[in-house]
Structure 1
Amino acid sequence: MKWIYRIVSLLAAAVFLLPILWMLSVSVKEEGMPIVTVLDWVKPPYSLAVYGEVLQATKLPLWVWNSFFIAVCVTALTIVIAAMAGFALSKIKFRLKAAVFFAVLAGLLIPGEAILIPLYQVAKDMGLLNTYLGLILPSLASPIAIIVLKSFFDGVPNDLLESVQIDGGGNWRIFFSIMLPLTRPAVASMAILTFIGSWNNFLWPFMSVTDDSLFTLPMGIPTLMSQYTVDYVKPMVINTISSLPIFLLFLVFEKQIIKGVSLSGIKG
């Protein structure tokens, strides 16, 4: 039976890898090369000239930087806020604790599209449109990150916390010395999933940014694609460059991503 599973796994992997290999193959073709048969997509000659043209003639490198910078800021701040909120809801006693938790839980029931208009009005009144802050701040409230991290903090024995309190340690020491090290896999997993979500975010940047120097990749790529309606090579080069950071992220943090999906129960 093992060889059957291996064959099925290889076939499934091939199904997912073929589009990526096809994209890479087309991206290194010469521009304007005629395509007559299927084999023309993959056979030589190859050239990287279109890569240089795209990088020099478009703002794609700037958009890659914008997406990376915003995703890093959103990830770092979201995890800090969610970890502190999850710790407070899990281990600190305070009035209306249950009400606060249900308020956070209710945030999962409200679709993001329902708050776009009031969010846009608030950002406009605060002068945050067409700014990095306007792209970062609205993404920091993550109910799912708070709930997931709270569930992991709940699994930390209270005896460990009490031993630190006996030694004179306060909540900050418990948080940094006990909670974060013990739940590092969960924190890392949520950070990676948050980064990917921010990297792929389209709707809010589309509403809040009109300056093309602040475009992120999901916004900028469609504007470039509309310029190349006949040629196949440049769109594939654009997609390859924009996909490369996520490919590298997955290769480096593959175990953490898989562990995060399996532990948190998040699918997507």
Structure 2
Amino acid sequence: MTAPATPTSLVLVRHGESVGNVAATRADREEALVVDVATRDADTPLSDRGREQARALGAWIAALPPDQRPEVVWCSPYVRTQQTAQLALEVAGLDLPVRTDERLRDRELGILDRLTWRGVQARHPEEAERRRHLGKMYHRPPGGESWADVALRLRAALGDLEGRDAGRRVLVVVHDAVVMLLRYVLEELTEDALMGVIRERSVRNASVTRLDRVDDAWLLAVFDDVAHLEALDAAITEHEGTGDTGG
């Protein structure tokens, strides 16, 4: 029998709530121009609620039947994703290989980093206008990335993932925009279809999205599911960020 040429399933998890998520929500509520976070984005850790969510994720993994548990983890190098994966695996009691790949990192915002949407409009009105004209998919802030740029590096990462972990169940711990763009790439969505999903809902912290490989296609089985958080009375948080910030 020929071995599968791709993983059998991909479980995409957004990291637990970060202190950056909390700060971005507070900045939006206070109508501030800048998100008050001391660390660079890559070093921003989980909040206490985020750690609770990561542990709930681990309890959910532990309760899965053995033939449904992940066999390997791919993870963004950012602190909040690394902490989410580590806590979840500790609670699940699993010692799995964790492959850290910088191509799974959050979208880089360049000169708009740490600015709320009000901050962008106040400090870089020309970029706010470019964003309105080009749309979310193709606007690339100076020094940063467009969503299309992120999709390009995700295609490259998926090529390595599919070759290295063919036939395995893979847990992928990443960021909200990355979950959306992995769906875009794997399901072969159009720009309009992707934006329709984004308008309808965001990706909640520590939520589970699963795609299964059926024949030669990736099929969405679960999207943004937080039943595992509800089951353990863990906080359910939804942080969209502002001005495309927050991850």
Q: Which has the higher strand share?
A: 2
In our comparison, the structure showing a higher alpha carbon Rg is: 1
TM-score by length of 2: 0.26
TM-score by length of 1: 0.25
